[in-house]
Chains A and B, each alone.
Chain A
C-alpha cells in the first residue's frame, strides 16, 4: 500500500506516495522526473545510480526510500547552480572525461564526496574513491585526470 512520505531533494521538499518496496532510484527517476541519475545494473555493481544522502555517496538502487525519509538528498541535477557548473562538471568537459555519458552522473557524485572528504587526493586515492563506479568507455584515465583538475581548481579558488 502506498504511503505519503517527505523527501528533501536538491534543497526542495517533496511529498511522494510510495510503495514499501520502492527504491530511491525509482522514486527519483519515475516519480520525480529526475532522470540524470541512471539505472544500470540495479544491483549495486555499476555505480551509475550514485547520489548523495546527507553528503555521503550511496547506491540509490539499493536504498529503500522509506529508510531515508527526511534526509537531504542531492542528485546530479543539484550539483550546479542555474548559472555555474560544479568544478567537477567543468573539469569533466575540459578533459574529455565523458564519452557515452551513462556513468557520468554517478562518477560526479562519487567524486563530489571524495573531494568533500579529501580536497587533495592523489591518483591512488581518486581511483579508490571511484572504485564503486564502472566506466566502459574511457579506461578511467580521463576521469581521474578530471577529478584531479577539479581538486586543483577548487583549492586554488579557496586560496584566492
Chain B
C-alpha cells in the first residue's frame, strides 16, 4: 500500500488547522481517518495523484454524545469505541449499529473511524448502510464553514462523495425518534476481512394499531455503486400489518429493486436472491426486537 509519491504526512491537532491545510486543495491532498482502506484504493490505482495525507486522528473528535434529540459521534471515534459506548438504553433503536460493529475484526475496529467509514464512499462498508436506515446526517467542516448532509445524499458514485476537496466529515448525528423504532443490519460475506457480497440495513416502527408506520430498507454491498434506499419495497410494507405474506411481497419487491454486480465473490443473480432472503430476515428480526422490548 505504498504511496511512494507522498511528500508529506500531516497530523493537524485542531479542525481549523486541518481546514487551513486543505484550503485550495487541488486533489493532491487526501484526508485520512484510520487509514485501513487506503491500500484498497491504492490497489485500484485510484491514488496516483495523492502527494499529501492529512491524518485527522489527532483531532479532538473521538466521542459519543447522547441527548433527548440525537445520538452523535465524533468523526475520529473508532468502531471499537462506538461498540463499547453505545448506550444499552438505546436498544432496539440502535441495534443495527451494534450488528454492524460485529463484522470487522478487532484490528479494523481499533483503527477504522466513523468519519473514514462514512467519507470513503464505499458501498461495501457496514456503517453507512445502517446510518442511512436511521436517517443520519453528516456534519462537514471546511474553509467555507460547516454544513450538514444527509448520509443518503452523500454518495455520488463508487468511492465518490459530494464532499469538496477541502471538506471533511467532523461528526455524524442520528435523530432520536419520538416513537419506538427497531433496527437491524446483516452482511453476507466470505470471511471477516472481505468486502460484502450483499448487505442490508432495516429500521421500522409500528403504530398503536399494529400497522407499520415507518420503514427504511437500505441495500449495500455489491448491489450498486452507492447504497440504495429500496423505496418500492418499503411501500409494500408501510401502512400494512407485517404478516408473512406482506413481508414476502416486500422482500420480492426488494429483489427486483436492486441491480447487483457480477464479480468473483458472487453472481448478480445470487446477490439478488440473497438480498430477498436478507430483506425478509431483517424485517422479521427488527419486528422481533420491537416485540421483545414490549415485554419488558
Mark A residues whose CB is within 8 Å of B: 1, 19-23, 42-47, 50, 53, 56-59, 61-64, 66-67, 69, 110, 113-114, 128-129, 131-133
Chain B residues with Cβ under 8 A from A22's Cβ? 2
Contact B105 A131 (CB under 8 A): yes
Contact B111 A62 (CB under 8 A): yes
Q: How far is the CA of A3 from the CA of B104 in the complex (A)?
A: 33
Chain B residues with Cβ under 8 A from A42's Cβ? 1, 39
Contact B53 A64 (CB under 8 A): yes
In the complex, B80 has a CB within 8 A of chain A: yes
Instruction: Out of A21, A45, A57, A69, name the residue touching B106 (CB < 8 Å).
Output: A57
Mark B residues whose CB is within 8 Å of A: 1-4, 6-9, 11, 32, 35-36, 38-40, 43, 53, 55, 57, 80, 102, 104-108, 110-111, 192-194
Chain B residues with Cβ under 8 A from A131's Cβ? 105-106, 192
**CB of A43, distance to nearest CB on chain B (Å):** 5
Q: How far is the CA of A10 from the CA of B193 in the complex (A)?
A: 28
Q: How far is the CA of A99 from the CA of B7 in the complex (A)?
A: 42
Contact A47 B11 (CB under 8 A): no
Contact A61 B36 (CB under 8 A): no
A-B contact pairs, 25 of them (CB 8 A): A20-B9, A21-B4, A21-B6, A22-B2, A23-B1, A43-B40, A44-B107, A44-B193, A45-B194, A47-B107, A53-B110, A57-B110, A59-B107, A59-B108, A59-B111, A62-B39, A63-B35, A63-B111, A64-B35, A64-B55, A66-B9, A110-B106, A113-B106, A128-B102, A132-B192
Q: Taking each of B1, B55, B80, B104, which has the highest tally of chain A beta carbons within 10 Å of its own beta carbon?
A: B1
Question: 13 other contacts beyond A20-B6, A21-B4, A57-B107, with CB at 8 A cut-off?
Answer: A19-B6, A21-B2, A21-B3, A42-B39, A44-B107, A45-B193, A46-B193, A50-B107, A64-B32, A64-B55, A131-B105, A132-B106, A132-B192
